[in-house]
Structures are given as C-alpha cells and as structure tokens.
Amino acid sequence: MSPATPAEADAAATHPRATTALFGHAAAEQILLGAYRAGRMPHAWLISGPAGIGKATLAYRLARFVLAYPDPRATEVTAAQSLAVPSEHAVSRRIAARAQGDLLTLERRLNEKTGKLLQDIAVDDVRRTVTFFGATAGEGGWRIAIVDSVDELNAAGANALLKVVEEPPQRALLLLVAHSPARVLPTIRSRCRVLALRGLDPPDVARAAASALGRPPDDPEIVAAAAAAEGSVARAIALCGGPLLTVRDRVSALLAKVPSVDPRGLHALGDLLERAEREAFATFVETVQAWLSAELHRPPQNVARLAPLAEAWGRIDAAARDVDTYNLDRRPFIFSVFGWLAEAARG
C-alpha cells in the first residue's frame, strides 16, 4: 500500500472517527448519555439534520463511549458529564485506525476502476451487518454499526438494513446518520428513535472548523466562512482557502440585483465556474437555493408571490442535476437560472 498523500492524511485526521471534539450539540449529547446511563438505550437511533453539522461526529462519539465503558452502571458512566473519551484511550485509538472489531461502519467506497466514490453504499456491505451482529462480541459485549449516511442506500440496501433493524440482537446498537430523514424508509424510521440536530450557530461553526484546520477561531477567513456556511462545519472547511468563498460572494452580489440581471457579471461567473471543480458548481447551486429559501420565507406571504419562486426552485434543481450528471456546459445554465429568478421575482 502506498503512503497517504498530505490531502489524504488531512482527511483522515478530520474524519468523524478521529474527531473527539463536539461543538454545538450539547443537548443532543445529554439525551444519548441519559438513555445509556438509565439502561434504556434504543437499539437504533436515526440522527438527522443538514449535511456537515456533526451528525456522524456525534454517532462516533456515542460509539466510542459505549465501547470504552460497556457497563452503564460503571463509575465512568454515572459520573460522566458528556460522551467524551480521551483520544489516548485504547478504544479511541482503535476506532481512529479502523481497528475496532466491535464497530462496523457502512459508507460509500471508492470505485476501484474510476477512483471515485460509488453513488450508493454497496448492498453487499449492508448485508455484512447480518453476519456482524450474529458474531460473538468482543470485550464488553456491545456491537455497534454506524451507517453514514442512510441517504446513500439504494432500495436493495435499505431493505437489507431493515432486516437487521427489525430483529436486533441483544446489546446491538445501530446509529443511522440521515441528511434527509423523509427519504428514509418509513419502516426503518418507525423502528428508530429520531434525534434531530439543527445547523450550528456561526461561532460554533468557526470553533469546529478552526479545530479541524488547526487555526484560531478568530481567523478572519474562518469567521467569514462560518458566516457563509449555513450551520455546516464541512461547508465552512470547504469554503476556507478562498475559491469557494469567492464563488459564493460573486453569486450573492448578482442575486442582490434580482430582478435586474447583470450580463457582464454572469459572463464573468460563467468563466469562473467553467474552470472550477465540481465543488464550485455545487456552491453556486447551494447559494441560489439559500436565496430562494430566504425569499420563500420572507413576509408578506401570499400564494401569488410564492408559486413562481417554488416553480423556479424546481426548474433550477432539475436543470442542475442534468448539468452535473451529463457534464453539460455551465454557462447557459447560469444565464437560465438568473432568467428564471428574475421572472419569478417580478411575478
């Protein structure tokens, strides 16, 4: 195996399995701790909320705690103020190194042919949960599976997971991360305790991003990224470094002029996005969607005003998927988006 590149090493260091700090979800953490301490731990949790806010970090934090302190009556549990486990603890080290035998993680794998992530979590990986939970547990007797995320299961994978959720063995714990809980099979959702997380406040986003990047939370770039990240730490980290924040600022400036359209500004934005990576295009779409969301919730509310905006959202969403899927020219899409927005705003 070749040594990890610096980028791969950084990604491994900031992955939730290696992240022992949690920011902004103290109330949710206390719910999990209370259930475990009371001996009333549900066999399955559905941890839901927007992408990048720390759902997987919380799931790994709970898994680490349960595997480190398998007896809910132990002094470490009854005296605990949080689910924190020291990074030097043997369980923490094993989980960070993917060497904890009683923890199974289901996530998208790399396609060996293309080197890119698969579109879905492989159904064969999901079926491994049956064997995993059927095997004898190691120290402590707990076996835990984290699915990150349930949104990335196809129909076959969701049905395979349902079999495990329906008939869980003793001392089994399933932690299901969901960005869009409405997309989770109702039969799975109904068998889980749902823990809904909200996007983080900008100060918490800044602290979390600064911790991941090894920079001070008052770093101007981090503060700006946190303000623009809409509660997502992952988004703030992606914005740091300049290019994505530049895209967002340019799009925001053009949106501020709607229903007027700035052709010169759109041409410049088209030049920028044609040369940029997919993340920049995603930033463009997300910034437009955030603007639409704000407009849809801005008073006064009336059907005549909302209907054109909702229609524009649907057209933009469908067209964006086509551009991304078929690698279409982004410039016509950009002009179409602002044409639809101008029409909706005037309507």
Q: Where are the domains of the chain?
A: 6-196, 242-346
The C-alpha atoms of residue 27 and residue 61 are separated, in whole angstroms, by: 14
Q: Residue 220: which residues within 8 A CB-CB, separation 6 or more?
A: none
pLDDT digits (tens, 9 = 90+) for 125-141: 999 898 898 887 777 68
Name the token pair of 228. 């623009």
pLDDT digits (tens, 9 = 90+) for 217-226: 999 989 988 9
Query: Mean pLDDT across the stretch 192-200?
Result: 95
CATH superfamily for domain 6-196: P-loop containing nucleotide triphosphate hydrolases (3.40.50.300)
Q: What is the mean pLDDT of the chain?
A: 88
Q: How many CA atoms lie within 13 A of 273 on its CB side?
A: 29
pLDDT digits (tens, 9 = 90+) for 288-329: 988 998 888 777 666 677 889 889 999 998 999 888 878 788
Q: Reduce the DSSP state of residue 316 to 3 states and report it.
A: helix
Q: Residue 327: which residues within 8 A CB-CB, separation 6 or more?
A: none
Res 188: pLDDT: 95
Share of the chain above pLDDT 90, in %: 59
Straight-line distance from the first to the last Cα atom of the chain, in angstroms, rounded to the nearest whole number: 59
The C-alpha atoms of residue 338 and residue 287 are separated, in whole angstroms, by: 12
Query: Mean pLDDT across the stretch 157-164?
Result: 93
Res 242: pLDDT: 63
Name the token pair of 342. 């101008």
> Looking at per-residue confidence, does 119 or 268 come out higher?
268
> Looking at per-residue confidence, does 44 or 282 come out higher?
44
Query: Mean pLDDT across the stretch 277-295?
Result: 86
Name the token pair of 300. 């006064």
Residue 273 has pLDDT above 70, yes or no: yes
Location of structure tokens 């095997």 = 135
> Phi/psi at 44 (nearest 5 deg)?
-145, 135
Are the beta carbons of 37 and 81 closer than 8 angstroms? Answer: no
Torsion over CA of 252, 257, 263 and 268, rounded to 10 degrees?
-20
Are the beta carbons of 96 and 132 closer than 8 angstroms? Answer: no
pLDDT digits (tens, 9 = 90+) for 30-78: 999 999 999 999 999 999 998 889 999 999 999 999 999 999 999 999 9
Q: Which residues pair with 106 in a beta bridge?
A: 147
